[in-house]
């Protein structure tokens, strides 16, 4: 794996949105700056599903960037989120990934105790032993504590931010993107599967890949062969005013022969499915969109591929290391046949999915291919030079949109 490096001179980046220098995926200083200026800055970060913490005392651990976070349902039924860091010596407060019925939290290191909102309540041996030692007179443990986040809930998704002045969540994503979230998450959900995928590349390469609306029918043999998504099927991409949020849609395939892909490797007629039930579709959306991929800046993805619903969370682990957390969803009122269909279609995507296994390695190809080309630049001109909504998926408009918001947030 190429080592991260620090640049000896100030980085250069020409104006506009059609060029991306490769140093942005390679530089340790960029990664460190992203933690404070971006993830801990003016953005709403995905934390978890409301359904995962349904009762008072239910909690999960997650992260924003590399900052560990606890999300918990309090005694009043509200949701709180705070940094998973003891105010005493910095140890993790919660060590497990999730729990239920908690009354409070206690750090294993020196037993500082916190309430469900993350406010310190007591210190072990705070009064000393036999009149000796202990904390100074007048010490107030409540004056200390981990950082607490503002929390927003939208369509059962829980988001958090450290920015006290950031616009309300729905205003931040805008009405067009909000409508696309509502389109998919129309009823209460429950988790039907989860896994974490380790990616050998910078986190932004995976986010770019999600926002790249035209690679799917070229890179993914399965998608094009079985007509899950071809550019000839129609569709388009919605890009928010900020550029950072997008939703792409693929229409149902037209009837009759499609010769658009003749001559491409992704139209090889020798491939067939032994069990064609994988391609069965239940019409539950009431429109002609069979695939929608939605991304919220900086690293949240909501997928609907046929009847397969999932959320993905992108978390940087290092300059060239990323964790991708997948959570597969069903609606709580799914009839058994539809639930079985969702579980079967879960094989389409994920680390070993018929589709997404290519996405799991192609970012590493870029990380390795550009390892010695930090001052060279990627070309991002498909579909023009702007970050605008377009009635085509043969475009890199939403990729340019990501860099529009990234540069504005990072002030680069």
Residue 266's pLDDT is: 44
> For residue 197, what are the β-bridge partners?
324
Banded pLDDT at 26 (limits 50, 70, 90): very high
Contacts of 316 (CB under 8 A, 6+ apart): 31, 34, 65, 66, 202, 203, 322
Residue 269's pLDDT is: 56
Whole-number Å distance between alpha carbons of 232 and 212: 16
Could you tell me where in the chain the CATH 3.90.380.10 domains are found? Answer: 176-410
Higher pLDDT, 367 or 265: 367
Arithmetic mean of pLDDT, 96-123? 97
DSSP letter for each residue of 286-313: SSSEEEEEEEETTTEEEEEETTEEEEEE
Residue 224's pLDDT is: 64
By residue count, the chain amounts to: 412
| pLDDT tens digits along 282-315 | 989 989 888 999 999 999 999 999 999 999 999 9
Q: What angle do CA 24, 28, 32 make, to 5 degrees?
A: 95
Whole-number Å distance between alpha carbons of 284 and 292: 14
Contacts of 20 (CB under 8 A, 6+ apart): 377, 378, 380, 403
> For residue 98, what are the β-bridge partners?
60
**Residue 181 φ/ψ, nearest 5 degrees:** -65, -45
* Axis crossing angle, helix 203-211 with helix 359-369, rounded to the nearest 10: 120
What is the CB neighbour count within 10 angstroms for residue 188? Answer: 14
Residue 185's pLDDT is: 98
| pLDDT tens digits along 326-382 | 999 999 999 999 999 999 998 888 787 777 777 778 888 999 999 999 999 999 999
Q: Are 295 and 312 in contact (CB under 8 A)?
A: no
3.30.750.24, 3.10.20.30, 3.90.380.10, 3.10.290.10: CATH of 176-410: 3.90.380.10
Arithmetic mean of pLDDT, 262-269? 47
Banded pLDDT at 261 (limits 50, 70, 90): very low
Banded pLDDT at 260 (limits 50, 70, 90): very low
328-331 long-range contacts, CB within 8 A, separation 24+:
328/191, 328/192, 328/193, 328/194, 329/49, 329/189, 329/190, 329/191, 329/192, 330/189, 330/190, 330/192, 331/187, 331/188, 331/189, 331/190
| pLDDT tens digits along 188-236 | 999 999 999 999 999 999 999 999 987 666 666 676 666 665 555 677 9
Could you tell me where in the chain the CATH 2.102.10.10 domains are found? Answer: 45-152
Mean pLDDT of the chain: 90
Whole-number Å distance between alpha carbons of 19 and 97: 39
Sort 102 into a burial class: Cβ within 10 Å, 0-12 / 13-18 / 19+: middle
Count of alpha carbons within 13 angstroms of residue 368, beta-carbon side: 8
Residue 128's pLDDT is: 92
Percentage of the chain surpassing pLDDT 90?
A: 75
3.40.50.2020, 3.40.630.30, 3.30.360.10, 2.102.10.10: CATH of 45-152: 2.102.10.10
Banded pLDDT at 256 (limits 50, 70, 90): very low
Q: Are 61 and 80 in contact (CB under 8 A)?
A: no
Residue 219's pLDDT is: 63
Whole-number Å distance between alpha carbons of 179 and 168: 16
* Axis crossing angle, helix 203-211 with helix 397-410, rounded to the nearest 10: 140
Whole-number Å distance between alpha carbons of 262 and 256: 15
Higher pLDDT, 84 or 268: 84
Poorest-pLDDT segment among 40-44, 89-93, 252-256: 252-256
> For residue 144, what are the β-bridge partners?
none
| pLDDT tens digits along 27-85 | 999 999 999 999 999 999 999 999 999 999 999 999 999 999 999 999 999 999 999 99
Contacts of 362 (CB under 8 A, 6+ apart): 209, 219
């Amino acid at each position: 794996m190429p080592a991260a490096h620090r640049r000896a001179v100030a980085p250069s980046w020409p104006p506009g949105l059609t060029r991306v220098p490769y140093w942005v995926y390679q530089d340790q200083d960029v990664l460190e700056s992203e933690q404070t200026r971006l993830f801990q800055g003016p953005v709403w970060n995905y934390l978890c599903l409301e359904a995962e913490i349904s009762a008072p005392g239910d909690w999960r651990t997650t992260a924003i960037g590399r900052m560990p976070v606890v999300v918990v349902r309090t005694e009043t039924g509200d949701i709180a989120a705070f940094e998973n860091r003891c105010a005493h010596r910095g140890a993790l407060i919660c060590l497990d990934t999730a729990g239920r019925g908690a009354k409070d939290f206690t750090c294993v290191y020196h037993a500082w105790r916190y309430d469900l909102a993350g406010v310190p309540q007591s210190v072990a041996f705070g009064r000393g032993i036999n009149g000796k030692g202990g904390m100074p007179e007048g010490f107030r443990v409540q004056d200390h504590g981990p950082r607490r986040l503002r929390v927003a809930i939208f369509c059962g998704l829980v988001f958090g931010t450290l920015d006290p002045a950031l616009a309300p969540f729905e205003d931040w994503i805008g009405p067009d993107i909000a409508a696309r979230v509502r389109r998919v998450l129309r009823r209460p959900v429950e988790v039907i599967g989860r896994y974490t995928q380790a990616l050998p590349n910078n986190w932004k390469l995976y986010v770019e890949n999600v926002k790249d609306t035209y690679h799917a029918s070229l890179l993914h043999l399965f998608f094009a062969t079985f007509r899950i998504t071809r550019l000839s099927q129609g569709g388009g991409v919605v890009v928010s005013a900020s550029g950072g949020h997008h939703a792409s849609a693929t229409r149902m395939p037209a009837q009759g022969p499609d010769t658009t892909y003749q001559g491409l490797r992704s139209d090889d007629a020798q491939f067939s499915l032994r069990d064609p039930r994988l391609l069965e579709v239940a019409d539950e959306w009431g429109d002609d969109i069979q695939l929608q991929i939605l991304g919220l800046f900086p690293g949240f993805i909501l997928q609907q591929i046929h009847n397969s619903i999932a959320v993905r969370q992108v978390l940087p682990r290092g300059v060239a290391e990323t964790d991708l957390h997948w959570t597969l969803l069903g609606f709580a009122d799914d009839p058994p046949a539809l639930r079985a269909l969702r579980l079967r279609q879960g094989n389409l995507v994920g680390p070993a999915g018929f589709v997404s296994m290519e996405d799991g390695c192609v970012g590493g190809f870029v990380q390795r291919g550009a390892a010695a080309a930090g001052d060279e630049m990627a070309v991002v001109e498909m579909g023009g030079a702007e970050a605008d909504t377009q009635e085509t998926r043969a475009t890199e408009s939403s990729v340019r949109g990501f860099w529009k918001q990234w540069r504005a947030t990072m002030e680069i």
